[in-house]
Amino acid sequence: MAIVPKKVKLDAGGDTLAIEWQDGHVSVYGYESLRDSCPCATCTGAEGGTPRKQAKAISDALPMFKKAARPLRAEIAGRYALQIFWSDGHSSGIYGFSYLRDLCACDECRAAKMKKAGDLKS
């Protein structure tokens, strides 16, 4: 079964993006976490640069001087992903729906991931 959103809502709770999936599950993502999870080559370090999470850890030493990135808008890319246009000028990350669903950190999804990891070890 394809993973498809039913509804996408920016600013769902102030600093969150919420996705209601076709199966009825709702995933809520904090903007900072979502931006840090950008799957593009620049942010993952695949193009040879420093991965965003590693660079961010260094720059977080002075957080009061850095404005947090916020999504300006989001668009469906094809039938498989969400493209987010961030206030820091970044927009090359295409967040596949299956990737977004895997990023869900709700209790139900965390428990399912732990069970799956346990099944793989057996």
Q: What pLDDT shows up at residue 43?
A: 87
Q: What is residue 39's predicted lDDT score, i.e. its pLDDT?
A: 93
Q: Which of 12, 24, 5, 31 is CA-nearest to residue 84?
A: 31
Average pLDDT, the chain: 85
- Tokens at 44, concatenated: 């993952």
pLDDT for 64 beyond 70: no
Determine the pLDDT at residue 102: 94
Give the pLDDT band of residue 45 (cuts 50, 70, 90). Answer: confident
Query: Which two structure tokens, joined as six digits, stand for 14?
Result: 């102030």
Tens of pLDDT, residue by residue over 67-94, are 788 899 999 998 899 999 999 999 999 9
Cβ pair 43, 49 in contact under 8 A = no
Enter the DSSP assignment of 67: P
Q: What is the pLDDT of residue 25?
A: 95
Alpha carbons 82 and 68: distance in angstroms, whole number:
20
pTM: 0.81
pLDDT for the residue 26: 96
